[in-house]
Amino acid sequence: MDEASAQASAGWRYDEPYGLYNPGVDETDEVVQGFLDPANGYYAVSDAQGELVAYCCFGPDARVPGGDYEADALDVGMGTRPDLTGQGCGHALIMAVLDQGQREFEPRAFRATVAAFNTRALRLCERAGLRPVQTFQRASDGRAFTILIREE
């Protein structure tokens, strides 16, 4: 991910109830630095015209504190540009992200952690072959999350 994509992604704002994905105004610089840190495994996802449409990450930064991450799996996280959510492009995006992860990391399994209320993302993950294996509450706020796994 380059700096322009990191800045753009950090500026995305989602309507409620998806506002939990919005960084706080005072957190934007920290989010950009997180996107740019190679250890966090973030990638920009562009369409055929070169427009930024999503971002993804592979590795521990896709985890949510409180979940059981003992299983051998590559964690994957994804964010879609807000104006594209609910427009029918999610399946192609998640499949492209999983294909990239398979080519680059050759994992034995993929794992995604999704807010339990986010039925759109949960359906998208299940359509991509991930299956729910755990639900837990994040200690910091009690919000429920679901962990899904796809064996390769």
Q: What is the pTM of this model?
A: 0.93
Please give the chain's pLDDT, 152 residues, in tens.
Answer: 999 999 999 999 999 999 989 988 789 999 999 999 999 999 999 999 999 999 999 999 999 999 999 999 999 999 999 999 989 999 999 999 999 999 999 999 999 999 999 999 999 999 999 999 999 999 899 999 999 999 98
CATH of domain 3-151: 3.40.630.30
For position 147, what pLDDT does the model report? Answer: 98
For position 120, what pLDDT does the model report? Answer: 93
For the chain, the structural domain boundaries read: 3-151
37: CB partners within 8 A, 6+ apart: none
Identify whether the C-beta of residue 136 lies closer than 8 Å to the C-beta of residue 66: yes
